[in-house]
Amino acid sequence: MSKHPIRLTVNGGQYELAVEPHRTLLDVVREELRLTGSKEGCGTGDCGACSMIVDGRLVTSCLMLAVEADGSDIQTIEGLACDGRLHPLQQAFIDYGAVQCGFCTPGMIMAAKALLDSDPHPSFEEVQRGLAGNLCRCTGYTKIIEAVMVAARQEAL
């Protein structure tokens, strides 16, 4: 199958790739760029484990073709830590027990980041709604929402 040239900016790095037209953004980021933080849970847009921020918008990357992302600016979980320090959301997830098996965590944190980017001071209910597309089999969600609320308060300091 013929490959298509694409350019992606991922976590500030520039990449030029040639990809088959059927490959998803998730697949290309994981397999070609070796950024394996984003997970494939369902592959059908239902679990949110593959969430990335693409041109400022939260995207389930298992449903986006890599060729559709040509020219896009993409943030993945690997891009959040800065100068050796975890992002406040990452730290709050650790501190408030919002991580158990961790499979959902990268997607949860990217969804939370997209929410806080658009609304830095969400209510509990707004965090619930903002994370509604992300499934967690382990935590029961309460600690995740608490962690996002804590991170939002810290960001405001």
- 29 phi/psi in degrees, rounded to 5: -65, -40
* Cβ distance to ligand FES smaller for residue 9 or 100: 100
Q: Does 70 contact ligand FES by CB under 6 A?
A: no
* Cβ distance to ligand FES smaller for residue 42 or 81: 42
Question: Residue written as tokens 């059927």?
Answer: 22
Q: How many residues contact ligand FES, by CB under 6 A?
A: 23
HSE of 7 in the Cβ direction (CA atoms, 13 Å)? 4
Q: Does 8 contact ligand FES by CB under 6 A?
A: no
**Interacting stretch for ligand FES, rule CB under 6 A, among 2-10, 48-56, 75-83, 119-127?**
48-56
Q: Shortest approach of ligand FES to residue 147 CB, angstroms?
A: 12
Q: Is 21 helix (H, G, I), strand (E, B) or coil?
A: coil
What is the DSSP-derived secondary structure letter of residue 69? Answer: G
- 73 phi/psi in degrees, rounded to 5: -105, 115
* Cβ distance to ligand FES smaller for residue 47 or 145: 47
**Contact residues: ligand FES, CB under 6 A:** 40-43, 45-50, 60, 62, 99-105, 136-139
